[in-house]
Structure 1
């Protein structure tokens, strides 16, 4: 199938070929683009790196084109992070560059002065890509007219529907025209978040692209048993011996990003940290340094796990395991993109073995454990520790519910 058969305008078909280099749509694009062009609400679920951005960006641009040069805000794209907003804006602008009519696409996010963003909106715009808080700031400054909005996109919708953004999102929804098209895209949806999404969508077309099995020729997953205290020396050893041109290392805290990066830098490895407390200017500078090769290793929190596209990234290292199994999928999805190969290495100390087994269970794949010579662990997980303890020592929610039901039943029999 080609992009032409999906119902896209010839100018957009040329744009996706010339600007993105794609000649055939991905599975999510093949399913979502016709549905969006028909005007349906869409709930799209597809793994990281599957082409979700273009799946909604192309129909958005077509809707703007159909308005025949009317400079009126047509579509809003909300993203949970500044980095994702910038990246989505870049995709839209690249695709729009080849179009016969000039479109105005604004990108807005917090952490920087609002004045340049307000100046950029003078004269109106066609599409706004923004983080929720800054979008509301723009509205409060009367910089946006929302009466002509036809489309709302939630990019990484599961995070936007989570409690951290719920209040801002509800305010935004109340400001928009009731008659609009809603498009929710994400790589993962917890059941509770999916239920909330159902309440906001009108008879949506559900498009769920099953994750492709992780192929060893795309992303090789490795799990290394190592003591907690030896993780930094082991990381340095791997960086020096594996031949990775660059690497993305995930840690749990802001402090750890700076601590590990400083340790690597002290040993002659060009490393930098990325976390949520950095200014937007600092974040942009760090990412540019990684992409240019000025920095070889980026040590980051899960801020970097979603949506960021780092070209030709050969390796991801889970220095700390993610809290949620879904975040593991997002993390390792930073490598092995666009037909390239990559490796995802997870450090598994003894006290993290049970958690890593849960991650394996959720992704349906067992990752063989290995040890690296010179870094063999002194601590080894017992079977009880590896399985989360002996059942019965700490009742689960289900155990408590069963016990409560049994107690209620016994009380009823006594009566």
Structure 2
């Protein structure tokens, strides 16, 4: 019937409008840096990254919350883990070469705060409840602005006791351009350049 078809059309249009509004409302802040989280960039040579990290870990107060240390590869996660073992710094490791069951166990252990330091790849930058995290260290600077944003989003979350901080080690010339863009976005409280289209609905969304 005409009334039935009209009713169906109205329902479809309403669903489309609601879906678009929902996505827009939730994506406006997705490509912005959290304003309450401190962003710190440390320019250093590659050989100085390890001493800098060890100093950061040893100087932090015992009540300083959890720490996420991001590396760009599984091999760096493993290597760094051996070094932390040598320095008797209790930690967990999380990287993509582990089985799904092993990763799930590490996620659970970290979220229960059994261990407060997690050395990881970008696997941990998405989907991990990190309300206890107060420090993110980019041991390896991320390859993209999007990766940086996801890592930075692990601190200062709802339920966190402190706003948190992100400390990034910058060692390569090609990282400096990304750093400038991040610093400008943080200072101006604007979205990161090139991120505006991420997750936004397409014009043909139906």
TM-score (norm 2): 0.72
Return the match for 1:209 from 28, 39, 47: 28
CA offsets 1:365-387 (integer angstroms, 9 cap, x no match): 368xxxxxxxxxxxxxxxxxxxx
Preserved contact between residue 320 and residue 347 of structure 1 (Cα < 8 Å): yes
Q: How far apart, in 1, do the equivalents of 2:83 and 2:13 lie?
A: 51
Preserved contact between residue 258 and residue 272 of structure 1 (Cα < 8 Å): no
CA offsets 1:18-60 (integer angstroms, 9 cap, x no match): xxxxxxxxxxxxxxxxx9994227357xxxxxxxxxx7xxxxx
Q: CA 1:252–1:38 in structure 2 vs 1: closer, same or farther (change >3 Å)?
A: same
Matched residues, number: 170
* Residues 39-50 of structure 1: pairs in structure 2 closer than 5 A: 39-40=15-16, 42=19
Determine which structure has greater relative contact order: mean sequence separation of CA pairs < 8 Å that are 6+ residues apart, divided by chain length.
Answer: 2
Return the match for 2:169 from 324, 342, 347: 347
Shift of 1:279: 1.0
Preserved contact between residue 328 and residue 359 of structure 1 (Cα < 8 Å): no
Preserved contact between residue 316 and residue 335 of structure 1 (Cα < 8 Å): yes
CA offsets 1:292-318 (integer angstroms, 9 cap, x no match): 232221111111112322222101000
Q: How far apart, in 1, do the equivalents of 2:12 and 2:33 lie?
A: 27
1:228 equivalent in structure 2: 46
Shift of 1:259: 0.8
Return the match for 2:84 from 264, 277, 281: 264
Q: How far apart, in 1, do the equivalents of 2:89 and 2:60 lie?
A: 14
Q: How far apart, in 2, do the equivalents of 1:315 and 1:36 lie?
A: 45
Shift of 1:360: 3.3
Q: How far apart, in 1, do the equivalents of 2:152 and 2:12 lie?
A: 29
Q: How far apart, in 2, do the equivalents of 1:343 and 1:305 lie?
A: 15
* Residues 229-244 of structure 1: pairs in structure 2 closer than 5 A: 229-243=47-61, 244=64
* Residues 258-337 of structure 1: pairs in structure 2 closer than 5 A: 258-337=78-157
Q: How far apart, in 2, do the equivalents of 1:37 and 1:314 lie?
A: 43
Q: How far apart, in 2, do the equivalents of 1:318 and 1:286 lie?
A: 20
Deviation beyond 6 Å, 4+ runs, structure 1:
none
CA offsets 1:252-301 (integer angstroms, 9 cap, x no match): 11111111112112211111211112112111111122222322211111
Preserved contact between residue 33 and residue 149 of structure 2 (Cα < 8 Å): no
* Residues 117-196 of structure 1: pairs in structure 2 closer than 5 A: none
Preserved contact between residue 310 and residue 334 of structure 1 (Cα < 8 Å): yes
CA offsets 1:181-222 (integer angstroms, 9 cap, x no match): xxxx6xxxxxxxxxxxxxxxxxxxx5542455542xx21111
Q: How far apart, in 2, do the equivalents of 1:353 and 1:274 lie?
A: 28
The answer to whether residue 65 in structure 2 is matched with residue 245 in structure 1 is: yes
Preserved contact between residue 318 and residue 344 of structure 1 (Cα < 8 Å): yes
Q: How far apart, in 2, do the equivalents of 1:259 and 1:320 lie?
A: 13
Preserved contact between residue 226 and residue 347 of structure 1 (Cα < 8 Å): yes
Structure 1: gaps of 5 or more residues: 1-34, 45-54, 56-184, 186-205, 368-415
Greater Cα radius of gyration, structure 1 or 2: 1
Preserved contact between residue 290 and residue 298 of structure 1 (Cα < 8 Å): yes
Structure 2: gaps of 5 or more residues: 1-10, 188-206
CA RMSD for the aligned pairs?
2.7
Q: CA 1:212–1:256 in structure 2 vs 1: closer, same or farther (change >3 Å)?
A: closer
2:203 equivalent in structure 1: none
Q: CA 1:314–1:268 in structure 2 vs 1: closer, same or farther (change >3 Å)?
A: same
